[in-house]
Structure 1
Amino acid sequence: MNTKRTFIKSVAAAAFATLAMGSAFAADITGAGATFPFPIYAKWAESYKAATGNGLNYQSIGSSGGIRQIKAKTVTFGATDAPMSGEDLDKEGLVQFPAIIGGTVPVVNLEGFKPGELRITGVVLADMFLGKVANWNDPKIAALNPGKKLPDQAITIVHRADGSGTTFNFTDYLTAVSKDWSSTVGKGAAVKWPAASSVGGKGNEGVAANVNRVKGSLGYVEYAYVKKNNMTFMQLQNADGKYVAPDDLTFAAAAAGADWMSVPGMGVSMVNAKGANSWPISTASFILMYKQPTDKAAAAEAVKFFDWAFTNGKKMAQDLDYVALPDSLTTQIRAKVWTQIQK
């Protein structure tokens, strides 16, 4: 485990630095959007550059920013964890397809607790983000963690300050499991956070930094950021009543039953998926491209990049605890989605 964590940290650090600079290599392909998949896109880009000589400049600016950029036609592809509706895709002349699967994870800054030591249910987690459970030694948390000495310490909520697919995924889950959350807040890429004590952060990076900085805080980030920043996560009760920890196996279990072609644009929600081993806040991250691109050569190169990643990038995804798409799904994407992009 330590060897794997050291490897992940070194890969992520090198890849993050490479992609963040952008100008470090030729920007043959441009993309922008979700911070959720940034670690794996960075690693794929680094390896694709080495294999082909062609580069990718990806701006990790959040899902809402990615949708804005692709609509403005300033990038070859947009990336979002909050899938666009079939109606909006048709209106804009876009195709959408999943590229990677991962999980959103509740993280805490609580002295004396190891990763995965604390357990939480979806209902109590929603109450914490609602501000109804505002202290760490609240009886609702204590009841789920018998024998644990919880501090008499206020909970500070850390949330995304920007429009975010991670927020969409997280609030989609809270909406599914909590009637109170559903009726008062709901789901969206940006919501009005009700807890009295809260602070915003830009990107998964900003939320991770704030959770690590603020004592007694509770936030949510994509799992690669948990590992990169050595964060303390909570086990979460899933739809089968089992407490599970986040990793590639529990993300894969949640994705196993997804019917991708049942929704226009393949925008399937995997939150609160059935299955004893399913992580309940699993999600796909999606790519948006024009059916009739302005720069056909750049669009063709972007398709080549994702084709290469689907074929050669599975081990890289596993090393960062993402879940690569199954071959049966990538075959469908090649046949039913990419064929709509004009060459």
Structure 2
Amino acid sequence: MNLKRFGRPAVIAVAAALALSSCASNEAGTGSSTTAATTSTLTGTLTGAGSSAQGSAQEAWIKAFQTANPNVTVNYDPTGSGAGRSTFIAGGSDFAGSDSALNDTELAGTFAACAPGAKAVDLPVYISPIAVIFNVAGVTDLKLDSATLAHIFRGEIKTWNDPAIAALNSGVTLPATAITAVHRSDDSGTTKNFTDYLFQTAPTVWTDKAADAFPIQGGEGAKGTSGVVDAVTNGVGTIGYADASKAGKLGVAKIKVGDSFVGYTAEAAAAVVAESPLVTGRDASDLAIKINRTTTDATHYPLVLVSYAIVCTEYAKPAQGELAKAYVTYMASADGQKVAASAGGAAPLSTDLADKVAAVLATVK
């Protein structure tokens, strides 16, 4: 599906966005839509593809950006993170949205949209909790620790009244209903973040390293975030994982952090990311983050994804570089982050991280 939206922004003239400074992330969005629309000189079509978790935010971002820049069309296809990276690498899009950063093999290759010798970099633009969603008749509150969650998704805990689940949910009447664990059938950054959480926090049970492809046979596979949500919603005794913005009215489990069971919040997701280091061994302009899943701080929610805009440091077509630079600048700006929070419940980038993104974008051409 192709997302193309129009609407009302709260962004300043793109001329200002393109004159990036270290505080650009706070400046974008201060002018009126009328001013932005009448001063924008940008023109052309920008194409992105990838993360379905970013879907709601992308719709809102596009709506705002296109009104500020009436001669620009932005298309975004939420095909999933893996497909989005592949499309970008092959030159089928100008940027990718991905819930997992480029891996070492991808970074070592070439990118068709980039100028010869130029790199592609990962820029954080969207932070969101991952919700463990469930649909079990008669159960509204559910607590799970990571080891039990890992056993469920490995198919080793098969019914909802299993003693391991019951021990965590004193006072809750759990049915003997069979468990259907729903996972992503497509390559997914959400899967990579979910399996990374299990691998870091329950390594004796979940022995498979983080991966875009779900590593376990069995259960039920569904394509895209919407596919998982639909499968859990329409199934019986189902459990799955999805970007929290799509949880809707489904039950959402609390996960164990330290000695407490916590539900997701945008603030708790942002706190984990703010205290997590960048991935080492990469170019200084690449801002991939190694999330600390093993925190015991109950004010943190470690089952979180950081979704990236993957762009060229230099584009083969300068006009596309100008468009990508302006659009991603808006996405990462203070106003862009507010739009994402309103549309999809995203957690805002910290000031420090937003400044780092702005500094990299200042060099894109």
TM-score normalised by length of structure 2: 0.81
1:45, distance to aligned residue in structure 2 (A): 1.0
Secondary structure, counterpart of 2:325 in structure 1: helix
Q: Match for residue 301 of structure 2?
A: 279
User: Hey, what's the Cα distance between the residues in 2 that align with 1:182 and 1:112?
Assistant: 29
Contact 1:37 1:285 in 2 (8 A): yes
In the alignment, structure 1 residue 266 sits paired with structure 2 residue 317: no
Higher helix share: 1
1:1-343, aligned counterparts within 5 Å?
20-22=2-4, 28-53=45-70, 54-85=72-103, 88-92=106-110, 93-114=119-140, 117-183=141-207, 185-195=208-218, 198-227=219-248, 230-238=249-257, 240-260=258-278, 262=280, 264=282, 265-274=286-295, 275-309=297-331, 310-319=333-342, 320-335=344-359, 337-341=360-364, 343=365
Measured against aligned partners, the alpha-carbon deviations of 1:206-243 in whole angstroms (never above 9, x if no partner) come to 0001010111011110001113xx221100112x2321
1:190, distance to aligned residue in structure 2 (A): 0.3
Identity %: 26
1:86, distance to aligned residue in structure 2 (A): 5.4
Contact 2:50 2:98 in 1 (8 A): yes
1:325, distance to aligned residue in structure 2 (A): 1.2
Contact 1:34 1:60 in 2 (8 A): yes
In terms of mean alpha carbon deviation, does 20-29 or 104-113 score higher?
20-29
Change (3 A) 1:330 1:214: same
User: Hey, what's the Cα distance between the residues in 2 that align with 1:34 and 1:145?
Assistant: 34
User: Hey, what's the Cα distance between the residues in 1 that align with 2:49 and 2:281?
Assistant: 24
Contact 2:6 2:66 in 1 (8 A): no
1:256, distance to aligned residue in structure 2 (A): 2.5
Secondary structure, counterpart of 1:127 in structure 2: helix
Secondary structure, counterpart of 2:305 in structure 1: strand
Q: Which amino acid aligns with 1:153?
A: T
1:273, distance to aligned residue in structure 2 (A): 4.7
Cα RMSD (Å) of the superposition?
Answer: 2.2
Q: Which amino acid aligns with 2:89?
A: K
1:21, distance to aligned residue in structure 2 (A): 4.6
Flag the structure with larger Rg.
2
User: Hey, what's the Cα distance between the residues in 2 that align with 1:245 and 1:74?
Assistant: 39
In terms of mean alpha carbon deviation, does 136-145 or 91-100 score higher?
91-100
Contact 2:277 2:290 in 1 (8 A): no
**Which ranges of structure 1 fall in alignment gaps of 5 or more residues?**
1-18
**Which ranges of structure 2 fall in alignment gaps of 5 or more residues?**
8-42, 111-118
User: Hey, what's the Cα distance between the residues in 2 that align with 1:290 and 1:302?
Assistant: 9
Secondary structure, counterpart of 1:179 in structure 2: coil
TM-score normalised by length of structure 1: 0.85
User: Hey, what's the Cα distance between the residues in 2 that align with 1:246 and 1:302?
Assistant: 32
Contact 2:97 2:310 in 1 (8 A): yes
Contact 1:244 1:250 in 2 (8 A): no
User: Hey, what's the Cα distance between the residues in 1 that align with 2:223 and 2:356?
Assistant: 35
Secondary structure, counterpart of 1:266 in structure 2: coil
User: Hey, what's the Cα distance between the residues in 2 that align with 1:131 and 1:261?
Assistant: 32
Change (3 A) 1:145 1:263: farther
Q: Which amino acid aligns with 2:337?
A: K
User: Hey, what's the Cα distance between the residues in 1 that align with 2:98 and 2:254?
Assistant: 26
1:46, distance to aligned residue in structure 2 (A): 1.0
Secondary structure, counterpart of 1:260 in structure 2: coil
Change (3 A) 1:273 1:50: farther
User: Hey, what's the Cα distance between the residues in 2 that align with 1:313 and 1:221?
Assistant: 22
Secondary structure, counterpart of 1:105 in structure 2: strand
